[in-house]
Chain A
Amino acid sequence: MTDIVLRDVQKWFGPIQVIKDMNLSIDHNEFIVLLGPSGCGKTTTLRAVAGLETIDEGDILIDGKPVQHMKASDRDIAMVFQSFSLYPHMTVYENIAFPLRARRMSRQAVDESVREIARVLRIADLLDRRPSALSGGDMQRVAIGRALVRRPKAMLMDEPIGALDAKLREEMRAEIKRLHLKQGSTTIYVTHDQVEAMSLADRIVIMHEGVLQQVGSPDEVYARPQNLFVAQFVGSPVMNVAPAQVRQEGGAVRVSVDPATPGFDFPRELLSRLNGHGAGEALALGIRPEGVLVSREPRDGYLPVEAHIIEPLGSHDIVDLKVGERLLRARTAAGFVPRPGERVHARIDPAQAHFFDAQSGRSLGVRL
């Protein structure tokens, strides 16, 4: 059983605060992904948990025990580095055996553990090679092997597959998931790649400028982003965000992203759900590309728009639609809009619309 708790953690690099009021608790066997752009403090947080970085205030608890004053070697935590950090002068076998030998384990026990983990990671035939003779994927397997071999309390991974090429990355992603399900250990994984985060995490922790933005399951952070940053960081292509005006016209409620256009139809409940927001302060509408519905024929509730740029992605197209002076990106079936300049019709699926306070960026929590 290993749980990790961060309580009011603060960290400064000189005058710059890189971790602000970080509070997070990680359950036993949970796979947590710290996600954020570079420089958001995610790696620093990970290194603080590992003991490679000190924190200025707050507590880090492993199994309820404060560890912030303990050395890395006393925390019994394993880590996989982005650069793998394999020992270049040792063979794969010696690399994996290193943490065991450092603890004076018997020769036979070391041998058994190393061969077992090599079998699990499918690197048993590489044990005599040196790291310089390995491919990126194999180096990463060795690095994971070295981390797993002593069955640590928790496993930390700092962009472990960031240095690999796209295809290998996908392969290793699946492998890491498989290993986690098989070996099961509390894991903190750092990445800036939201696809990686979505596919691996039990829960995603999104960070921005040292501040924790949202913690939730991949579904939650995708479907219910708590603020504009999360909304735009998670999901590809990026969520459309536009300043919006809400108007009541007779019995209908319309939301327009460009005052010159008539606006999209929304159900009447929107007014009560907005609860007065949007009347005084500025409102931002967020809609993911799959929430923009496109039709070739004019239909009820659809506005005429012009297709601007089409990005064919094989399985589907991303089409930039011109709504007045605004661009909305829509996801359509491949070839649905034949060429740029075409007039088509679009509406917004109210169930997929998000409303944010444009000033603070906070979600208004409107669900239709």
Chain B
Amino acid sequence: MAVLATLDPNSRAASRGWSDLTIRNAFILPTIIFLIVFNIFPLVYSLGFSFTNYRASVNRPAEFVGLQNYRELLSNPDIWNNFTITAQYVILSVGGQMIVGFGLALLLNRKFPFKGLVTTLLLLPMMLSPAVVGLFWKLLYDPSWGPINYALGIGKFEWLSNPTNALIATALTDIWMWSPFVMLLALAGLSAVPKHLYEAAAIDRAGTFYTFFRITLPLITPLLLIALIFRTMEAFKTFDLPFVMSTANVQTIAIRLYQMAFQSWDTGRASALAYIVLIVVLAITNIYVKYLNKVKER
């Protein structure tokens, strides 16, 4: 506020009689309107739907059914199965991304020729459209003429046609696509560790591993946690890759939600499921954020 209060009294805004507060509000207003129209309104509207038997495909007013949708969803073993698959997918893909991304960051965290170019090239996957990535990897995984089977020399291995393999294959694609994101954050963390701490550690006769586990890792944990939060949230609601690559075989919760909402047009129940997913994601990120704050306090 101190900065706003020092507005030049001769400026055009001031001569029009705008106060600091007016100007501030003028800047904030568009964002607020956007948020209300596209985020808050649908959020509240769908919360209303989740207590009804509304079907968007049928011209019939919605009937209030109370908690019936939630009750049925939570007692449905199929839904729990979808959650289990999603959890497996999250662990596989986010775990992989953390390992690969951090590994890449460690490799890149030194001076070498064309470092900028190499870093940019490594970031490319994350800049592509997920639909494009999905289609390409579907071709790469093709059992009869895909380059992956050819390169691995494993004949006509079926990557996408059975649920277990499809889960792994989709997670691998996700790892390929999003490891650069983890790498970027880890690289920022690594380059922010003051060089003099490494000098102090060398003087203190600490070996490479000791230095890594006692200096590097603790100091970049906050940034790794942020990467973990983002990637977990994203992976949990992942839709595009499994949808494009193997619709029927990787039944993540988002895929199930899509089928419920736009194939069976069970709008009310789908809204309820969306809310359950929201609560789960919030709960998971809350755990991370709590831990992050604890780490940051040190």
Contact = CB atoms under 8 A, between A and B. Distances in A.
Given A87-B215, A89-B219, A130-B298, A81 B200 contact: yes
Contacts, number: 61
Given A89-B219, A89-B298, A102-B205, A52 B199 contact: yes
Given A51-B202, A52-B202, A73-B202, A85 B207 contact: no
B205 A99 contact: yes
Interface centre among A87, A146, A147 (most CB of B within 10 A): A87
Interface in B184-232: 194, 196-197, 199-207, 210, 214-215, 218-219
A85 B199 contact: yes
Interface string A136-173: 00000000001100100000000000000000000000
Interface string B232-250: 0000000000000000000
A43 to B, nearest CB: 12
B207 A89 contact: no
A146 B201 CA distance: 11
A89 B194 CA distance: 13
Interface string A244-266: 00000000000000000000000
Nearest to B204: A99
**B interface residue count range (under 10 / 10 to 19 / 20 to 34 / 35 or more):** 10 to 19
A85 B197 contact: yes
A330 interface: no
Contacts of A73: 202-207
Nearest to B211: A102
A99 B201 CA distance: 8
A255 to B, nearest CB: 51
Contacts of B205: 73-74, 76, 99, 102-103, 150
Interface string A190-224: 00000000000000000000000000000000000
A72 B298 contact: no
Contacts of B207: 73, 102
Contacts of B206: 73, 98-99, 102
A98 B198 CA distance: 13
Contact of A72 (B194, B203, B215, B218): B203
A102 B212 CA distance: 12
Interface in B256-272: none
Interface in B91-106: none
A81 B204 contact: no
A76 B205 CA distance: 7
B216 to A, nearest CB: 11
B202 A81 contact: no
A88 to B, nearest CB: 8
Contact of B203 (A78, A83, A86, A87): A78
A102 B206 CA distance: 5
Contacts of A85: 194, 196-197, 199-200
A191 B199 CA distance: 19
A71 interface: yes
A102 B214 CA distance: 9
A225 B204 CA distance: 38
Given A85-B196, A85-B197, A89-B218, A146 B204 contact: yes
B228 to A, nearest CB: 18
Contacts of A89: 218-219, 298
Contacts of B196: 81, 83, 85
B298 to A, nearest CB: 5
A234 interface: no
B76 to A, nearest CB: 46
B98 to A, nearest CB: 20
Contacts of B215: 87
Contacts of A83: 196
B202 A87 contact: no
A98 B210 CA distance: 10
A79 B194 CA distance: 17
A50 interface: yes
Contacts of A51: 202
A360 to B, nearest CB: 39
Interface centre among B199, B200, B298 (most CB of A within 10 A): B200
A239 B207 CA distance: 50
Given A87-B214, A146-B200, 18 more contacts: A51-B202, A52-B199, A52-B202, A73-B202, A73-B204, A73-B206, A74-B205, A78-B203, A79-B200, A85-B197, A87-B200, A89-B298, A98-B201, A98-B206, A98-B214, A102-B207, A103-B205, A146-B204
30 contacts: A52-B202, A52-B203, A72-B203, A73-B203, A73-B205, A74-B205, A78-B204, A81-B196, A81-B199, A81-B200, A85-B194, A85-B196, A85-B199, A85-B200, A86-B200, A87-B215, A89-B219, A89-B298, A98-B204, A98-B206, A99-B204, A99-B206, A102-B204, A102-B205, A102-B206, A102-B210, A102-B214, A103-B205, A146-B200, A146-B204
Interface of A: 50-52, 71-74, 76-79, 81, 83, 85-89, 98-99, 102-103, 130, 146-147, 150
Lowest 9 CB-CB distances: which A-B pairs, in order? A99-B204, A102-B206, A85-B200, A72-B202, A73-B205, A85-B196, A79-B203, A89-B218, A102-B210
